[in-house]
Amino acid sequence: MKKITPLFIGIFLLFAANSFSQINFEHGSFAEIKAKAKTEHKLIFIDAFTTWCGPCKWMAKNVFTNDTVASFFNKTFVNAKIDMEAGEGLEIAKIYKINVYPSLLFINENGDLIHRVAGSRSSADFIQLGKDALIPEKQFSTIEKKYMNGNREGLFISSYLNILSGSGLDTRDVLSDYLNSQKESDLSSSTNWNIIYSHLNDNNSKTFNYLMKNAELFSKLHTADSVNNKIFYVYSDALNNLIYARTPDSVKIFNLKKEIQNSGFKRGEEVLLDADLNYYQNKQDYNNFAKTAVIYIDKYKSTDVDFLNNIAYTFYTEVKDKGMLEKAESWAKKSYELNPHPQFNMDTYACLLALNGKKKEAIELEKKAIEIIKNGKEKYDQSAIAAMQKQIDEWSMQ
């Protein structure tokens, strides 16, 4: 039997340590975590998560286990991973106004918020986030203090709104206070337009009404496309919020649709068709969904690759009318021709070909998609091959 040398043991232990690196999260109470931070003179990093949050799970698997991430965070912070829907997490979520997951918080030993963002990050971005939390001028608390002390300069407000939004916090009060303080003649300035374009979502606000009345002026200063897109999304969001409400108010939906019809907005019909499509899908009324889709695509979406593919696949799964399915096949074909992505556009087209009785063509196309995934340089989902092969087998048996 060969002797295991100390050098080999050392190399093995080093390899094992690096192979299983991860952020070391504390398991004590919140009070104990703060006490440890006080003893070690460190900030506390909190991964504010929920058990159902997909991006939370992704970070736990792919970022918190990264060697460089683990080394930096274990050295620099006292780390805590807290479920915001259980135990102390319920109160912590209230204290720090956590509405988006994951929320990534940095607090001091007294529980004072120092820095925060919301949403998943790559390993490199996550390390940069940790570094920013140590720099006073970049900290959320520093910037918030400037606002509380009365800084209302346009560029600062724009930056502050971006930070609030990126932290999953409500921007409405800051936005309305700032915009309402502006002269109407100043609303079309470059700084204010950037603020309006990035953050205004209230179709009932004084600023939006001013934008609607002066759309031509804004278009001359900031391009017609950007102005039309902004108006489109404000109206679209307002309608969809009503449509997807827990108890949709049909009177409010009707009144808002009437307002859009009478607004003179050039893309008003497009907004209404988009909303109708969402409304019928939400109601699972696929007969009217299909009729609306035909009009919407013919008028506005005939070259929108992703839209064509998504609607075609919805027809494949939900619509029974033969004529409508032939329409969907033509949209899937167009989407495939514009972007022959094997897992999406090609697969959707193959499915509709098979459903419409063209199984030989469907099988050939699906085999072609599999070959692209197998041989392609792009990182396609290899697990899709099994699902595609299963479809081929089923079509061959029919």
CA proximity to 104, closest of 90, 114, 94, 112: 114
Q: Of the given ranges (11-15, 276-280, 381-385), which has the lowest mean pLDDT?
A: 11-15
Residue 8 located in a structural domain: no
CATH at 384: 1.25.40.10
pLDDT average, residue stretch 235-258: 95
Question: End of a domain among 90, 108, 134?
Answer: 134
Q: Quick one: pLDDT at residue 373?
A: 85
**22-76, pLDDT tens digit by residue?**
999 999 999 999 999 999 999 999 999 999 999 999 999 999 999 999 999 999 9
Residue 283 located in a structural domain: no
Among residues of the chain, what percentage have pLDDT more than 90?
87
Q: Quick one: pLDDT at residue 158?
A: 97
Residue with more model confidence, 173 or 387 = 173
Q: Quick one: pLDDT at residue 384?
A: 79
Local confidence band at 377 (pLDDT 50, 70, 90 cut-offs): low
Residue 51 located in a structural domain: yes
Which residues have C-beta within 8 Å of that of residue 238, sequence separation ≥ 6? Answer: 201, 203, 256
Question: End of a domain among 134, 151, 170?
Answer: 134
- Bridge-partner residues for 83, per DSSP? 49
Residue 61 located in a structural domain: yes
CATH at 53: 3.40.30.10
The total number of structural domains in the chain stands at: 2
Whether the pLDDT of residue 374 is over 90: the answer is: no
Instruction: Supply the mean pLDDT for the chain.
Output: 93
Residue 326 located in a structural domain: yes
Local confidence band at 18 (pLDDT 50, 70, 90 cut-offs): very low
Residue 43 located in a structural domain: yes
Rounded Cα distance, 391 and 385, in Å: 10
> What amino acid occupies position 15?
F
Question: End of a domain among 80, 100, 134?
Answer: 134
pTM of the entire predicted model: 0.83
Which residues have C-beta within 8 Å of that of residue 159, sequence separation ≥ 6? Answer: 143
> What amino acid occupies position 334?
K
Strands, E assignment, the chain: 25-26, 43-49, 77-83, 103-107, 113-118
Residue 62 located in a structural domain: yes
CA distances from 259 to 120, 166, 196, 256, 268 (A): 38, 32, 21, 5, 10
Instruction: Look up the domain containing 24 and give its range.
Output: 20-134
Residue 166 located in a structural domain: no
DSSP letters of 106-143?
EE-TT--EEEEEES---HHHHHHHHHHTT-GGGSHHHH
**127-177, pLDDT tens digit by residue?**
999 999 999 999 999 999 999 999 999 999 999 999 999 999 999 999 999
